[in-house]
Amino acid sequence: MVFQSYAIWPHMTVFENVAFPLRVGKRRLNNDEVRKKVCNALEQVELGDLGERMATQLSGGQQQRLALARALVREPQVLLLDEPLSNLDAKLRERMRVELRELQRRLRITTLYVTHDQIEALSMSNVIAVMSAGVIVQEGAPREIYMHPKTQFVAQFIGSTNQLSGQFISRREEGLGLVRTEVGEIACGLATDVSPGADVVVVVRPESVILHKKRPPEAANVVEGKMATVMFLGEYLDCAVELGKAVFQTHQPHSLQLRRGESVWVEMPAGECLALLSESSRKES
């Protein structure tokens, strides 16, 4: 197990920290066996040259790898990582995500990764289990969880999402349905538990929303909105658009010149929208 705080022993060297699990418990190893296993574990996490250094002399990323080596040295069948990257800065956290993923693939150890960080969950997992109040509410591949959430809670919890409350009217062709909302009727995909007349929430991801300066002539699901904020984030423009009482977040390319307060046309492609049973309706049922 790798703890959130790493639990590195400051009075020990790097080597001694990793060796400690081998020197306690029922099965004791001789010094040669301990050295061989410790050196192998340190090499796996790229700390092979730092065995004699004091643990407190390591950087944050190195301490994280030290905690991982200590967990690996006993060659476990299952590895539990409890938010191991939460104490690192953003750039180091991004780098360590890649390193942990590659290490897990190389060692082929079943790993249970506990996190509240959605990016970590999506980028590092083969399977994600979303829990609410101690109960697993959805389990599946990262793409499935992100693109096809089964409940409003999962849609809100995994990634950012925009929502429009409405009432499901009818089913249409190609598995789509029609939902009446305060900004008009929206064509969208349907969750399996949605029936006509039900109170629903239409969800659409920020990257799926398209803004237009002029109304597109043939597009469906197009409503007029008002720019609330425009922020330059380097990779894209982070925009907030007022749609009635709702505020939609959307990511737009730099080439689109937008100003706060101006009117825009908001397109929500039907294939990117999903109607989910509202949490209030779910509780009533």
Per-residue model confidence (pLDDT) at position 36: 94
Query: Which of 247, 275, 252 is CA-nearest to residue 166?
Result: 275
Q: Which long-range contacts (CB under 8 A, 24 or more apart) does 139-144 make?
A: none
Q: What CA–CA distance (Å, rounded) separates 60 from 88? A: 7
Q: Quote the pLDDT of residue 90.
A: 82
CA–CA separation, 162 and 67 (whole Å): 39
For 231, residues 6+ apart whose C-beta sits below 8 A from its C-beta are 237, 238, 239
- Which pLDDT does position 60 carry in this prediction? 84
C-alpha to C-alpha distance for 258 and 63, rounded to whole angstroms: 45
CA angle 137, 141, 143 (to 5 degrees): 105
Give me the pLDDT at residue 284, please: 63
Query: What's the pLDDT score for residue 285?
Result: 59
pTM score above 0.85: no
Q: Which sequence spans correspond to the domains of the chain?
A: 14-124, 160-285
- Give the single-character DSSP code of 146: H
At 127, give phi and psi (nearest 5°).
-135, 135
Where the chain has pLDDT below 70, the residues are 283-285
> What is the pLDDT at residue 180?
95
Q: Where are the alpha helices (DSSP H) in the chain?
A: 14-19, 31-44, 60-72, 90-107, 118-124, 142-147, 152-157, 279-284
Q: Facing residues of 200 across strands?
A: 166, 277
The domain made up of 14-124 is a member of CATH 3.40.50.300? yes
Reply yes or no on domain 160-285 having CATH 3.40.50.880: no
